[in-house]
Structure 1
């Protein structure tokens, strides 16, 4: 009887060990995983970005031979936590989101980032905007030039405290401009210290909607997320003083805001958003397959991923844009903004 019990316990232990090994997430092998989960920020979780998500998913599936599942979100922190905790293997996070995920779990590392038009990292940037309703724009002129000098005491909308271009960069710009106020990023997260009131749109689109519906006087958002909903009405794209008009048949959440206009008071370059991975849940073999595939000429020439300007794809193809391998140290520039 005792031998039978011992045998049963040994068998149980062997089965448990085999189960743990097959999971593969604890030792970073991930070799037996049959699915790869990709988490998306709220900005890319909308119905209008479905085909773009599917194009990326298709490349991942073909590279690894595994099923790809999307995890859509309504909050930046949910996406960051999903990658950090291992509930997602891959995420399309902005620089600040990556930094936060890496801080939570050092096994989260950058995989690739989209280059600039040169095909290099030298111009791998997009732009953070601080905008106001066009009808109020003249109130924000200083010596005949548009300026953020007049935003103090206004109702402000940011994207999320985890947003690079929708919070970290614009608040750094404000702190630098208003040095005599001795501001911190904490001061700019809530009303009373500098702003009358502070809102968070939880996406770049949401922040812009806060502005255009009158909930906020000033708002921060970025060019890449707003570009597909608006047309340039006057000025030069990505230049201070440019005015943009919401397209008449823009998709949600701008579907009822056609014709609304906003003017940009500040334009700041921001490091492009990386595709990141949890190296503990994604096998080394899959990591290599993904890196080799994503940085290939085939993907660079894939018009469903790097599409002509004006399309709804995540990445625009103007010249030599492509994915490039990226290291953690590339994001130190953004890290230094929050020290």
Structure 2
């Protein structure tokens, strides 16, 4: 996807609301191309992928990497975005699965952190390698956020709002940019900045601001009434909810918590929410600290991740009709993992300019 087109989609779609759419290291210092003496690879996972329901999926990927490299894989699960980002940046983890913003922050801390691969789109290419950032409200409240028949951001000020983490791409970076872009054109908020959205209170843009810590946590903030509006993404809640009405990833779509949903949705079966905004976001990469993993192992891991073996592994790319809780669910086309370069994430960098 061309940079200019994606940036336009990221910014304009939020404004118009019409786009349908992981301790210090004890390893011996090695060369800048990666260390070769280690017999272990540690993978850091964001809170979204650290839950017990995804343990089998993490294990499957680890097992495949062990087979490819001959090295033991250990998983570093986290409850905070910053822990995962710091872990890969400071060498406490060798690999990580991060969102685009998380990768950029890790790379800024340590330029030896580089992306390996991202999941493609349904086409099997990078052209549609996106997922979706949602703004959602509880079922029955959607009419409060409309001008006529169209949803509008103009009604969200003064509300209780839940983000994921300020290091989240789709759970903070993209929605906050869209909100600022929209309101900066309005007289009362012409000087609004993303930083102004991080805290709520009297005389603040939002009356209260919460952070779910994960996309699942942000959604739960909404469904339990702690927030009026919540930002979270489609891929992180796919295992817990199902479409109840409307078209997937379109404003106006209603989703319902599955009756057998795992934690943290297990106490919320049947609860419904409606989308008022949908924005495409660049897919999340597997990243590697190139100072911690030598070139030979980097090559082996990349070849594995981008292989037909992984693309056809139903515990990695999970078929739409499967009940297995995986990282990449609802496979419907030619989805696979593709090699990616740092510049692929420039459109997300541009959101900070």
Q: Secondary structure at the match of 1:156?
A: strand
Give the alignment partner of residue 130 of structure 1, picking from 135, 153, 170: 135
Give the alignment partner of residue 189 of structure 1, picking from 198, 201, 204: 198
Match of 1:315 in 2: 328
Task: Give 1:312 deviation, angstroms.
Answer: 1.5
CA contact (8 A) 2:32 2:290 kept: no
Provide the rounded CA distance (Å) in 2 between the counterparts of 1:162 and 1:221.
Answer: 13
Give the alignment partner of residue 173 of structure 1, picking from 170, 178, 200: 178
Residue 121 of structure 2 is aligned to residue 107 of structure 1: no
Residue 279 of structure 2 is aligned to residue 268 of structure 1: yes
CA contact (8 A) 2:317 2:335 kept: yes
Match of 2:343 in 1: 329
Cα root mean square deviation, aligned: 1.2
> Runs of 5+ in structure 1 lacking a partner?
1-21
54-63 vs 99-108, greater mean Cα deviation: 54-63
Task: Give 1:26 deviation, angstroms.
Answer: 5.4
Give the aligned length. Answer: 318
Superposed, 1:76-95 pairs within 5 Å as 76-95=81-100
Q: Which structure has the bigger radius of gyration?
A: 1
How does the TM-score come out when normalised to structure 2?
0.88
Task: Give 1:24 deviation, angstroms.
Answer: 4.8
CA contact (8 A) 1:96 1:162 kept: yes
Residue by residue over 1:14-35, the C-alpha shift from the partner in whole angstroms, topping out at 9 and shown as x without a partner, is xxxxxxxx83545443211110
292-301 vs 303-312, greater mean Cα deviation: 303-312
Match of 1:13 in 2: none
> Runs of 5+ in structure 2 lacking a partner?
1-26
Task: Give 1:214 deviation, angstroms.
Answer: 0.8
CA contact (8 A) 1:24 1:31 kept: no
CA contact (8 A) 1:25 1:282 kept: no
Provide the rounded CA distance (Å) in 1 between the counterparts of 2:316 and 2:326.
Answer: 6
CA contact (8 A) 1:157 1:198 kept: yes
